[in-house]
Amino acid sequence: MTGWNTAITGSVEDASETVLEVVDLSFTHVGQTALTLKTVNLTLQAGELVVLSGATGSGKSTLLNCITGIAPEHTGGKLSGQIGSRGQDLTAWSVRQRSQLMGMMLQNVETQLFTDQVWEEVVFGLENWNLPPGEIQALAQTALTEFDLVEQQAWTIRQLSAGQKQRLLLACLLTRQPDLLLLDEPFAFLDAAGVQHLLECLQKQVQQGQAVLLIEHRLELVRGLCDRAYRIEAGEVRPIAVSALKSFTPATVEATAQNPFTGTVRATETASKPLHPPPETSPGRLVLQTHQLSWGGYPPFPDLQVENGDTVLLQGDNGCGKTTLLRLLSGLLKPATGQLKILGQDVTGQNVVQIARTVGFVLQNPNHQLFADSVEAEIQQSKVAPAQARQWLEQLNLSHCADRHPQALSQGQKRRLALGAVLARQPQICLLDEIMVGQDPTSLEWMLNVLTTFTQQGGTLIFTSHDPGVAERLQPRATSLS
Amino acid sequence: MPIAKLSRTSLSGLAPINPVLKIGLSVGLMVVALCLQKLPAMAVLVGGLLLLTAQLRIRLVGLLYGVLTLTIFALSSAWLSGDWPKAVFSTLRLLAIVLPAPVLALTTPPSALIRALQALRLPSFLTLSLMIIWRFFPLIQQELQRIWEANQLRGIDLSRQPRQWFSGLMVPLVFQMVTYADEVTVGLQTRGYDPEAPRSCSQPLRWQHIDTLFCGVVALWLGVVGYLEWVR
């Protein structure tokens, strides 16, 4: 592209409506020879909301990193092509310089909040740009009002829910009215109210003329808002019709899943192969019972009566205690009051290690649960024979990375591996805390097939998820937490 | 929302005091503690500090640990020197040296402390480092706890299996920390931070009436200490 102004200026003189122009962008990760992104061309006009979809590991986040300058500045790798905005060439700009024109919300919001208090957080970003104190006060107040955070302005960051933190970060990023907003899976951990609030915020920004580029797996959420959609496949970005945006539902994911590494495999067939079932229990046997469990400042949790083969979904807004209840069931927390019975035995006073013989727990953050040197060894840690470990990896579509280090996997792959390592221990009861986030429909299908097989073989599943598609697929018994 | 109720905190009555004044007072009190030689003067100094400490919400377990540590220190000091008054004096001096900094730091909101350090013209990367430690230290603590728990969930009790510490605790913790460090660096840039660039201050520190009042009370307190040490 020729004729772009490469000067770095605070104000945009070019009145062009093209707020993002990606031209022939290619990127190769460090230590790899294959291109992660292949000659990507993409434009965004002011007031447009564009969605990027694609399988886990297809290069969506890499593209966002290239646009924001994080790649190759922080990740290393080789980038070619150009990135521009309103006639300016941004390719040589740093992340900070680009942040004047684009607000970037990363996957982990926690790492973009630096102070201890809501008001201070909004002010922090404005002080970084050396704005006069009077202007800072006015801009911060406007941002808090606009994002409905006035009541929380004296709160500490720790007091905020996941949705409120996201809203605060949006308020911070948008105080200086950048042209473009980039969001990486913003709906992942939000409850229904948080999703609704964020959708309203995005709609407002788009109406005000801001362009929004977002990566999302839960496509049904954004279908009504988005103007255009793209899909990344094998590093290539292709436009798709907005009407073709479909999230995971039993009908949308074919039984045949394409594994890019091992060829086409029938997911349902693989999942129906005999796994290693949990120890036999008679059908309809009560495996878990709770009575008036309570902990901390939460209202008493509803009593649970769960039989083998049951699938139970814990429902409720962010902060209502779903994770806390799972931690109580696993023994990680001891209840203040009440009783927990597993397989008819009172285990309220037992320690976690004892309870872990029958209860497996896959945590929200998979990084905490991966200890081995390789993916295969991670499964074998559970004293599983090599042949069985390979079968688990196949079931979870991880065979192609059996020799890789677990920490080198994508978040979605890590979650599947953590699930495999827990299920390989053959627990009677499996607890899952929001592990379905970050999975593309095909990967999610792999995961859900394994879980379905687990319950069909008599295992008990208790899980939390904000994704209605997951509930539709697993057909759980829902328990609401107020 | 229960989480909000659980974690809501309140700072003490010392919170509005100018943090620069608090930093100066902390240094001053430690110097005075080192200069004093008489037990009554030291007792009044420590008494005042304990009154300030009462502003903090200290957990009973922490308080018991503190009392136990001081008792052991006093007893061993008395046993070694064979002089009880001297042992009591040494224990009080230890308290007078140890207490001021945490008391005054814990009664200061982190943001006010950062502004104080900025007002003292400390380099921006130093104040930012402090701010990040303040913000992320609890997060690291939480990470450590989660990894410990993940081991328990696999049937490994690290407190009884120290051989597993490297693979079960250190490796995942280091991975998490490195990841956090990378993400925080990127996050800072996305928020416009540059250690080389000038930053403005939206709420410059100002001297208030309460600071004058606080100075008056402190002067009275130190006056009594000085009288007992040098006049009486």
Q: What is the pLDDT of residue A281?
A: 55
* Residue A452 in domain: yes
Lowest-confidence pick of A249-263, A335-349, A356-370? A249-263
Q: What is the ipTM of this complex?
A: 0.78
The 8-class DSSP code of residue B230 comes to: I
- A271 pLDDT band, cuts 50/70/90, is very low
Give contacts of B192 with chain A, Cβ < 8 Å.
96, 99-100, 125, 128-129
* Residue B200 in domain: no
Range of the domain at B173: 124-194
Radius of gyration of chain B (CA): 23
* Residue B62 in domain: yes
- B63 and B117 in a single domain? The answer is yes
- B157 and B221 in a single domain? The answer is no
Is B185 near chain A, with CB under 8 Å?
yes
- A287 and A225 in a single domain? The answer is no
Tell me the two tokens of residue A16.
């062009």
Q: What is the pLDDT of residue A318?
A: 78
**Would you say residue B39 has pLDDT above 90?**
yes
- A243 and A276 in a single domain? The answer is no
Q: What average pLDDT does the segment A343-360 reach? A: 94
- B116 and B128 in a single domain? The answer is no
B58-77 residues touching A, CB cutoff 8 A:
none
Alpha carbon of B65: minimum distance to chain A alpha carbons (Å)? 24
B100-119 residues touching A, CB cutoff 8 A:
109-111
Range of the domain at A231: 6-253
Lowest-confidence pick of A53-67, A238-252, A382-396? A238-252
Q: What is the pLDDT of residue A469?
A: 84
Q: Cα(A110)–Cα(B187) distance, rounded to whole angstroms?
A: 9
Last residue of a domain, one of A202, A226, A253: A253
Is B188 near chain A, with CB under 8 Å?
yes
Number of neighbours of residue A160 by Cβ within 10 angstroms: 25
- B31 pLDDT band, cuts 50/70/90, is very high
Separation of first and last alpha carbons in chain B: 58
Contact A99 B179 (CB under 8 A): no
Lowest-confidence pick of A81-85, A349-353, B14-18? B14-18
A297 vs A151, which has greater pLDDT?
A151
* Residue A377 in domain: yes
- B180 and B218 in a single domain? The answer is no
* Residue B5 in domain: no
* Residue B64 in domain: yes
* Residue A206 in domain: yes
- B113 and B213 in a single domain? The answer is yes
| Mean pLDDT over the full length of chain A | 86
Contact status, residue A61 vs residue A411, Cβ threshold 8 Å:
no
Q: Cα(A96)–Cα(A47) distance, rounded to whole angstroms?
A: 23
Q: Which residues pair with A214 in a beta bridge?
A: A51, A183
- A206 and A103 in a single domain? The answer is yes
**Would you say residue A216 has pLDDT above 80?**
yes
Give contacts of A131 with chain B, Cβ < 8 Å.
200
Is B9 near chain A, with CB under 8 Å?
yes
* Residue B99 in domain: yes
Alpha carbon of A390: minimum distance to chain B alpha carbons (Å)? 20
Give contacts of B110 with chain A, Cβ < 8 Å.
115-116
- A248 and A283 in a single domain? The answer is no
- A442 and A296 in a single domain? The answer is yes
- A244 and A300 in a single domain? The answer is no
Alpha carbon of A319: minimum distance to chain B alpha carbons (Å)? 6
CA atoms within 13 A on the CB side of A224: 7
* Residue A229 in domain: yes
* Residue A262 in domain: no
Of A100, A110, A352, the CB nearest to B149: A352
- A280 and A231 in a single domain? The answer is no
- B23 and B96 in a single domain? The answer is yes
Of A74, A365, A367, the CB nearest to B185: A74
- B77 and B25 in a single domain? The answer is yes
Is B215 near chain A, with CB under 8 Å?
no
Q: What is the pLDDT of residue A280?
A: 53
Q: What average pLDDT does the segment A277-301 reach? A: 81
CA atoms within 13 A on the CB side of A174: 28
Alpha carbon of A255: minimum distance to chain B alpha carbons (Å)? 33
* Residue B171 in domain: yes
* Residue A1 in domain: no
| Mean pLDDT over the full length of chain B | 86
Is B165 near chain A, with CB under 8 Å?
no
- B108 and B223 in a single domain? The answer is yes
Contact B176 A363 (CB under 8 A): no
A-B CB pairs within 8 A amount to: 173
State how many domains chain A has.
2
State how many domains chain B has.
2
B89 vs B123, which has greater pLDDT?
B89
- B168 and B154 in a single domain? The answer is yes
Provide the CATH number for the domain around residue A25.
3.40.50.300
Contact A368 B188 (CB under 8 A): no
Give contacts of B139 with chain A, Cβ < 8 Å.
110
Give contacts of A365 with chain B, Cβ < 8 Å.
146
Contact A363 B150 (CB under 8 A): yes
pLDDT, tens digit (0-9, with 9 covering 90-100), for A224-270: 889 999 999 888 999 998 877 665 444 444 433 443 333 333 344 44
Tell me the two tokens of residue A9.
């200026």
Residue carrying structure tokens 């649960």: A369
Contact B110 A352 (CB under 8 A): no
- A277 pLDDT band, cuts 50/70/90, is low
- B25 and B116 in a single domain? The answer is yes
- A163 and A296 in a single domain? The answer is no
Q: What is the pLDDT of residue A305?
A: 95
Last residue of a domain, one of A253, A280, A298: A253
- B24 and B43 in a single domain? The answer is yes
Q: Which residue in A158, A318, A378, A382 has the most chain B C-beta atoms within 10 A of its own C-beta, making it the best mutation to test that interface?
A: A158
Strands A180-184 and A102-105: parallel
Contact A108 B1 (CB under 8 A): no
Of B154, B175, B194, the CB nearest to A96: B194
Sheet of strand A180-184: strand arrangement: A102-105, A180-184, A211-215, A49-54, A228-233, A236-240
Write the burial class of residue A189 (CB in 10 Å: 0-12 exposed, 13-18 middle, 19+ buried): buried
Q: Cα(A30)–Cα(B108) distance, rounded to whole angstroms?
A: 45
Burial A300-339, CB ≥16 within 10 A → b, else e:
bbeebebbbbbbbbbbbbbbbbbbbbbbbbbbbbebeebe
Q: What is the pLDDT of residue A15?
A: 47
pLDDT, tens digit (0-9, with 9 covering 90-100), for A419-457: 999 999 999 999 999 888 878 888 888 899 999 999 999
- A167 and A198 in a single domain? The answer is yes
Q: What is the pLDDT of residue B161?
A: 87
Number of neighbours of residue A154 by Cβ within 10 angstroms: 11
Contact A68 B190 (CB under 8 A): yes
Give contacts of A95 with chain B, Cβ < 8 Å.
186, 189-190
- How far CA A448 is from CA of A307, A362, A453, B220, in Å, comes to 20, 14, 8, 71
Alpha carbon of B6: minimum distance to chain A alpha carbons (Å)? 6
- A190 and A302 in a single domain? The answer is no
DSSP state letters, B21-86: HHHHHHHHHHHHHHH---HHHHHHHHHHHHHHHTTS---HHHHHHHHHHHHHHHHHHHHHH--HHH
Q: What average pLDDT does the segment A401-429 reach? A: 90
**Would you say residue A1 has pLDDT above 80?**
no
Contact A111 B187 (CB under 8 A): yes
Residues in chain B, total = 232
Of A95, A407, A425, the CB nearest to B186: A95
* Residue B95 in domain: yes
Contact B185 A133 (CB under 8 A): no
Contact B189 A369 (CB under 8 A): no
Write the burial class of residue A177 (CB in 10 Å: 0-12 exposed, 13-18 middle, 19+ buried): exposed
Q: What average pLDDT does the segment B29-55 reach? A: 94
Last residue of a domain, one of A253, A284, A312: A253
Contact A74 B186 (CB under 8 A): yes
pLDDT, tens digit (0-9, with 9 covering 90-100), for A298-326: 889 999 999 999 999 999 887 788 999 99
* Residue B145 in domain: yes
- A19 and A48 in a single domain? The answer is yes
Q: Enumerate residues 6+ apart whose C-beta is below 8 A from B213.
A: none
> Does the pTM of the predicted model rise above 0.90?
no
Contact status, residue A20 vs residue A64, Cβ threshold 8 Å:
no
* Residue A258 in domain: no
- B176 and B213 in a single domain? The answer is no
Give contacts of B185 with chain A, Cβ < 8 Å.
74
Q: What is the pLDDT of residue B8?
A: 37
Alpha carbon of A120: minimum distance to chain B alpha carbons (Å)? 7
Alpha carbon of A297: minimum distance to chain B alpha carbons (Å)? 6
Q: Which of B232, B63, B31, B3 is nearest to A164 (CA)?
A: B3
Could you give the angle at which helices B124-153 and B110-119 cross, rounded to 10 degrees? 150
Q: Cα(B219)–Cα(B226) distance, rounded to whole angstroms?
A: 10
Q: What is the pLDDT of residue A398?
A: 92
- A220 and A360 in a single domain? The answer is no
| H or E stretch covering B173 | helix B171-190
